[in-house]
């Protein structure tokens, strides 16, 4: 397997579970639970649970949350030697409202994540082999992401534009090997409406025209559309009872990176990543809901795959 490096954010998630998402002025009764999260961290944990032994570069604060976050990452099998702590800063936090059908809304206090700068990226990449698969997400400052792009060398760059903090330049697009927006992020990046599979293919082709080599738009329970120079693929999502969709996109990105690092064909990688994401939504939390390799393989075998 090729080496894997994830570069992204880490948060302590405070999840509120209730029957519905609240509307303005409404007070709801529900249950509050804390989980470890952050898109980059979730992606790295997903990869670790799938056997990827990934590096992870992130910035934690100097607080008790940082201790919990670090301990969890190590416990899940993520390599923690590229994780830094910013003196005086507080770790990132996310407030996530989850309804019983699994849908969510979230607010993020980026905290120390915003202090992860270009020098930190260069340091993190120093000893990462050039045949690595590298995953970057946009919770980090935009300049930091761009430094990672410019220093990808021969590594395969998967870019998860979540959340969209800036439009992509031509140079950015030319450096990205696979971009993985969800439907909302695809709309923000293209200005096109993405509310169906056909519209997702149109948006994917527009991103490809901007210079990105391959585009995978995730559509939640409607699956994934994928476009590169040679092929167009539609991968459906697997039917499951969703209880918490937090981290589903991260499960997809982590699994996609692992399967590419293993040399799987893109069609098989998309199916494996979709299966991983489907299993993730059947459990509460982000990192706690990432399935192991065995769980994904048994799930796929049950589906006759």
Residue with tokens 């293919």: 201
Scanning 76-84, 177-185, 241-249, 288-296 for contacts with ligand RIB by CB under 6 A, the matching segment is: 241-249
Decide: is 250 part of the binding site for ligand RIB (CB under 6 A).
yes
Kindly give, in sequence order, each residue whose CB lies less than 8 Å from that of residue 44, ignoring residues fewer than 6 positions away: 6, 8, 54, 56, 73, 78, 254
Q: Is the dihedral of CA 175, 177, 182, 183 positive or negative?
A: positive
> By three-state DSSP, how is residue 134 classified?
strand
Q: Among residues 3, 5, 6, 37, which is the contact residue for ligand RIB, using CB under 6 A?
A: 37
Q: Among residues 16, 42, 158, 219, which is the contact residue for ligand RIB, using CB under 6 A?
A: 42
Find out whether 55 and 82 touch, Cβ atoms under 8 Å: yes
**Active site (catalytic) residues:** 250
Site string for ligand RIB, 130-159 (x = CB under 6 A): ---------x--------------------
Asked if residue 117 has a cis previous peptide bond (ω within 30° of 0), the answer is no
Find out whether 142 and 179 touch, Cβ atoms under 8 Å: no
Site string for ligand RIB, 88-107 (x = CB under 6 A): ------x-----------x-
CB of 232 vs ligand RIB, minimal distance in Å = 27
Site string for ligand RIB, 55-74 (x = CB under 6 A): --------------------
Q: Among residues 141, 249, 254, 291, which is the contact residue for ligand RIB, using CB under 6 A?
A: 249
Kindly give, in sequence order, each residue whose CB lies less than 8 Å from that of residue 64, ignoring residues fewer than 6 positions away: none
Decide: is 8 part of the binding site for ligand RIB (CB under 6 A).
no
Give the residue from 48, 103, 104 showing the smallest Cα distance to 80: 48
Residues that bind ligand RIB (CB under 6 A): 9, 11, 13, 37-39, 42, 94, 106, 108, 139, 246-247, 249-250, 286
């Amino acid at each position: 397997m090729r080496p894997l490096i994830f570069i992204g954010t880490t948060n302590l998630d405070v999840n509120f579970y209730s029957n519905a998402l609240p509307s303005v002025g409404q007070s709801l009764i529900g249950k509050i639970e804390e989980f470890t999260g952050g898109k980059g961290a979730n992606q790295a944990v997903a990869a670790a649970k799938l056997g990827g032994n990934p590096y992870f570069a992130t910035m934690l604060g100097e607080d008790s949350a940082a201790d919990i976050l670090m301990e969890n990452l190590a416990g899940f099998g993520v390599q923690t030697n590229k994780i830094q702590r910013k003196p005086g800063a507080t770790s990132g936090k996310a407030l996530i409202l989850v309804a019983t059908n699994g849908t969510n809304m979230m607010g993020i206090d980026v905290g120390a994540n915003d202090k992860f700068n270009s020098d930190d990226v260069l340091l993190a990449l120093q000893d990462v082999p050039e045949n690595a698969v590298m995953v970057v997400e946009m919770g980090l400052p935009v300049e930091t992401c761009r430094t990672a792009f410019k220093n990808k060398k021969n590594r395969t760059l998967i870019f998860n534009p979540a959340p969209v903090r800036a439009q992509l330049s031509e140079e950015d697009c030319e450096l990205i090997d696979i971009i993985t927006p969800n439907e909302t992020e695809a709309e923000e990046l293209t200005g096109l409406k993405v509310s169906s599979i056909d519209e997702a293919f149109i948006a994917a082709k527009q991103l490809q025209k901007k210079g990105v080599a391959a585009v995978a738009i995730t559509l939640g329970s409607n699956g994934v559309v994928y476009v590169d120079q040679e092929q167009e693929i539609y991968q459906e999502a697997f039917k499951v009872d969703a209880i918490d969709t937090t981290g589903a996109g991260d499960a997809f990105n982590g699994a996609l990176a692992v399967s590419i690092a293993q040399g799987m064909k893109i069609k098989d990688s998309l199916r494996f990543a979709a299966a991983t994401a489907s299993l993730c939504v059947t459990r509460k939390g982000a990192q706690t809901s990432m399935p192991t390799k065995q769980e994904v393989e048994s799930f796929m075998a049950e589906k006759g795959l």
